[in-house]
Amino acid sequence: MLPNEVMEQAMQEFMDWNGTGMSVMEIGHRTNAFIDIAKHAEQSLRSLVSIPDDYHVLFLAGGATLQFSVAPMNLLRGRKSAGYIVTGIWSGKAQKIAEPYTEVKTICSSQATGYRSIPARESWQLDDDMAYCFYTENETVGGVEFQSVPDIDVPLVCDMTSSILSRPIDISKYGAIIAGAQKNVAPAGMTIVIVDKSLCEQVLPGTPDLLNYQLQAEHDCMLNTPPTFNWYMAGLMFDWIKNEGGLEVMAERNLRKSEGLYQLIDSSGFYSNEVDRSCRSRMNVVFYLPNEELTSLFIRQSEEAGLFALKGHKAAGGIRASLYNAMPSSGIDSLVSFMTEFELQHG
């Protein structure tokens, strides 16, 4: 979802951005008009998250999956290996995709137990030669989310695709953050990278220019034509979050929204959530009904009631309620009422 206010502003400005007589969709990326939009979005994100000057903020084409290759290309710095914390499908994918570039080590994995928890810190295997430690803050498919930043001495590379801007971020704890825009920021097709400048000064030989963080930064992410409309939409979204009160307010709202759903699930003998309570996601609440027939009926009837996109990811099945920033609490109230009624009828 995108907030109505953001969509309305985009609609009002659609045919004529700032008196130019042109749509943002039509403005060339090297024009002053677009450079203003791009600079504004970057400044707005920097102030929202408090990103210091020693980090690049990049707006890049391509999805988060592309960054699973690009991060090792830029961040290995001649080191021999990279470590991965595997807590779900996305971190597992990131690890696999990094294999051609370096020796990939598993710091810990919850795969054997079905990705329902985060292995205890004491069990993590860390080596001095790791260039970075990669983890996925929120596993979108399984609904497993780190509640705090892992406490380790290796530069952290975090995939925040499905949790960026859902709560405050202490940038100083990260080497790099990568995030596809499509959940909490803007339409699909753009990725945001926030990276410590000192970590990306030595790219892997053969890295294409377009995938070189430092080179992209030196060219204001305009080595080629960037995803201009998405970049503009991202700027509107950053401003919206600021106007709503910032990341603390987003965090409070998201906690309240997810707690409402978890309370209902936990108090029912009908719905179930199998994720360890210490790492349940505030963005994607995944739950199950007693059998497949009821799950299909739930999806059909919820759509008839105006509740969409509740079908779980094909790898996890069940139901997934995504509670990204733009989802109002009234949306959760409607879902809770629907679930209560459905349980009364079928439980």
The residues that touch ligand PMP, with contacts defined as CB under 6 A, are: 63-65, 90, 136, 140, 159, 161-162, 180
Q: Is 17 a catalytic residue?
A: no
Q: Which residue is nearest to ligand PMP (CB)?
A: 63
Q: Is 96 a catalytic residue?
A: no
Q: Residue 291, CB half-sphere, CA atoms under 13 Å: how many?
A: 3
Pairing of strands 156-159, 55-61: unpaired
Rounded least distance, CB 162 to ligand PMP, Å: 4
- Pick 66 or 171: Cβ nearer ligand PMP: 66
Rounded least distance, CB 129 to ligand PMP, Å: 26
Of the candidates 36, 53, 80, 90, the residue annotated as catalytic is 90
Rounded least distance, CB 164 to ligand PMP, Å: 10
- Structure-token pair, residue 252: 């409070």
Q: Is 242 a catalytic residue?
A: no
Of the candidates 93, 128, 159, 239, the residue annotated as catalytic is 159
Rounded least distance, CB 265 to ligand PMP, Å: 21
- Pick 189 or 246: Cβ nearer ligand PMP: 189
- Pick 90 or 146: Cβ nearer ligand PMP: 90
Of the candidates 16, 93, 129, 183, the residue annotated as catalytic is 183
> Do 175 and 152 meet the contact criterion of CB atoms below 8 Å apart?
no
**Packing angle between helix 228-244 and helix 4-13, nearest 10 degrees?**
130
Pairing of strands 130-136, 190-196: unpaired
Q: Which are the contacts of 68, defined by CB distance < 8 A and separation ≥ 6?
A: 93, 94, 97, 98, 159
> Do 58 and 48 meet the contact criterion of CB atoms below 8 Å apart?
no
The residues that are catalytic are: 90, 159, 183
